Amino acid sequence: MVIHLEDGKTVGYVLPSADLFYMDVRDSISQYNEEHPDARMEQDIIRPVETSWFISLLPTLILFAGLIIFWVIMMRRLGSSMGGDKQMNFGKAKIKQMSDEKRKTTFADVAGADEEKEELREIVEFLKNPNKYNSLGARIPKGVLLVGPPGTGKTLLARAVAGEAGVPFFSISGSDFVEMFVGVGASRVRDLFDKAKKNHPCIIFIDEIDAVGRQRGAGLGGGHDEREQTLNQLLVEMDGFGANEGVIMIAATNRPDILDPALMRPGRFDRQVMVGYPDIKGREEILRVHAKGKP
């Protein structure tokens, strides 16, 4: 409490209770007026306006709302810098589906690989006429491994198989499966096979499969690192679809010696096609393909 005296001085007191003070002042003034009726004192006590609890909490609510708005803005900026909805699609496979124009790639566009094309024609015939093979009780390989040094046309051969058969072509790199977060690679493998089964007959092409198919137990993270979990999921998915479901897997590598032996077992990549460098005649055919239509 602050009291302003007539001589201009100001006196301050700390009151334990304002209500008790008001009662004491009222009683004292009443007693004085009874004792001095000729010099009565007038009292005019003005109580401060009491604020509601909502007004008291309003600054705290404003601060809390500001923190929420700041957090939402920062999360949106972080999401846009990572590619929009990339966080929501973190477990989705980074599949590249061949466009209609690229699907026109046929064996005629692949030169210098006559033996390789001959070995892959069986896959094309099965994708074109699956009922023919099913009626005969024939089993088509689930997976074909293209083995050869870089630059020999393994990816082009896989695209040509899809183009000859006229089926969807799903392409993905082996390194796209491997992430630092546990479980992401296995989730992408499941997503890849789910999309393939919905679009069968089709071809799944995994380039550089040695990035995910390296022999287990040789990693730096022990026996339970993310890459080995991804490989385990890949093996499970390959065992999960039948040989005649119309989903053919083609993989490419230049390091077959480091692949896990489980990938080469029957029912998986049990057929290997060696893709080597072309000879002189093959190089002439390649030159003719690239020079076609040019003056």
Query: What pLDDT does 51 receive?
Result: 62
Query: What pLDDT does 222 receive?
Result: 47
pTM attached to this predicted model: 0.62
Query: Residue 16 burial (CB < 10 Å; 0-12/13-18/19+)?
Result: exposed
Dihedral sign of CA atoms 122, 128, 132, 136 in order: positive
Using one digit for the tens of pLDDT, what is the confidence trace for 70-110? 998 888 876 655 444 544 455 555 666 655 555 577 888 88
Token digits for 168? 């969807």
Pairing relationship of beta strands 96-97 and 247-253 according to DSSP bridges: unpaired
Q: Mean of the pLDDT values across residues 227-235? A: 82
Give dist(CA 141, CA 133) in Å, integer: 12
Using one digit for the tens of pLDDT, what is the confidence trace for 158-212? 888 888 888 888 888 887 777 655 667 778 888 888 888 888 788 888 888 888 8
Q: Are 248 and 200 in contact (CB under 8 A)?
A: no
Token digits for 64? 């809390």
What are the φ and ψ backbone dihedral angles of 170, each rounded to 5 degrees?
Answer: -105, 120
- Say if residue 37's pLDDT is above 80: no
Tell me the CA end-to-end span of the chain in Å, nearest whole number.
Answer: 103
Q: Name the region of 153 (left: φ>0; alpha: ψ -120 to 50; beta: rest).
A: left
Query: What pLDDT does 69 receive?
Result: 93
What are the φ and ψ backbone dihedral angles of 259, each rounded to 5 degrees?
Answer: -75, 150
Q: What is the mean pLDDT of the chain?
A: 76
